[in-house]
Amino acid sequence: KKIIETINISKTYRMGEELVQALKSISIIVNKGEYVAFMGPSGSGKSTLMNIIGCLDSPTTGTYILNGKDVSDMTENELAEVRNKEIGFVFQTFNLLPRASCLDNVALPLIYAGYNKSDRTEMAFQALKNVGLADRVGHKPNELSGGQRQRVAIARALVNNPSIILADEPTGNLDSKTSHGIMELFHELHQKGNTIIMVTHEDDIAHYAHRVVRLRDGLVESDTLNPNPTRGK
Ligand code: ADP
Ligand code: ADP
């Protein structure tokens, strides 16, 4: 069942007088429960495509259908709801609030979603437990290692039980061992039925995905299934 479908989407940025065509014509279908890696050289359009898929940005031309709905028909409120409830974003730069505890960082999206305080605490604790950080709930981000911070960011992305996880270089700042730990976590999320799309430039990280889409100059260069993906433990 299709969850994401882009039909001939393009994206043009204006830089002063100059136009930059970041995406030329991208048509991709992702089914529910797929685990996809986007690869490609710097500047090939990966982040632009992720932003469009995450409804953070809209295409210049073409159609994006999410869960059967044309995103261009959605109101601002509907878009905010989709971003808040259906999509979990994992950014490379962690984006955690430095002065807030892990628990409060993870609970933040739940405030926007309208949960009361005791539900927020319970859900945030559960999400931290799921990423192996039950003993770090009261710590602040700067009291954690890079890998632990990334797991806090993942807990925050997942706390609302989003069906789609979008991760832009989720292991980008991490050492190899920590990176593979994060990939174990993604493997479990995939097993649970989540749809995962991640951007990575590392072959061994992409190898966890079941499908690899390569972009080049704003076009899909190749789209292949991985016959033997790396599994978690
Ligand atoms: P990637 O993630 O593969 O490195 P991007 O999607 O970030 O690629 O960028 C694709 C192209 O679009 C690049 O040429 C980049 O310079 C340009 N671009 C990206 N964002 C902007 C922007 N906000 N304004 C102007 N040009 C941009
Ligand atoms: P570990 O103990 O897991 O190795 P470190 O704190 O040494 O964790 O960080 C690992 C990597 O993650 C380092 O390359 C560091 O630059 C990067 N990193 C750590 N914290 C952040 C952050 N808040 N934003 C971006 N990169 C970070």
Per-residue pLDDT tens listing for the chain (233 residues): 999 999 999 999 998 999 999 999 999 999 999 999 999 999 999 999 999 999 999 999 999 999 999 999 999 999 998 988 899 998 765 679 999 999 999 999 898 888 999 999 999 999 999 888 999 999 999 999 988 998 899 899 989 889 999 999 988 877 888 888 889 989 999 999 999 999 999 999 999 999 999 999 999 999 999 999 998 66
SS3 of 98, please? coil
Ligand 1 center to 47 CA (angstroms): 7
Ligand 1: does its nearest atom lie under 6 Å from the Cβ of 22?
Answer: yes
CA pair distance 175, 19, nearest whole angstrom: 37
Decide if the complex's ipTM is over 0.95.
no
* CB contact at 8 A, 107 and 68: no
pTM: 0.85
Nearest to 207, CA basis, from 165, 174, 160, 171: 171
List the residue whose alpha carbon is closest to atom 23 of ligand 1.
13
**Ligand 1 atom with the shortest distance to the CA of 168:** 2
pLDDT at 232: 66
**Sheet hosting strand 211-216, strand order edge to edge:** 87-90, 164-168, 195-199, 35-39, 211-216, 219-225
Ligand nearest to the CA of 169: 1
Query: Which of 13, 92, 166 to mutate for ligand 1's pocket (most ligand atoms within 8 Å of CB)?
Result: 13
Q: What is the DSSP letter of 34?
A: -
The CB-side HSE value for 70 (13 A sphere, CA atoms) comes to 7
Ligand 1: does its nearest atom lie under 6 Å from the Cβ of 43?
Answer: yes
Q: What is the DSSP letter of 84?
A: I
Per-residue burial over 204-227, b = 16 or more CB atoms within 10 Å of its CB, e = otherwise? ebbbbbbbbbbbeebebeeeeebe
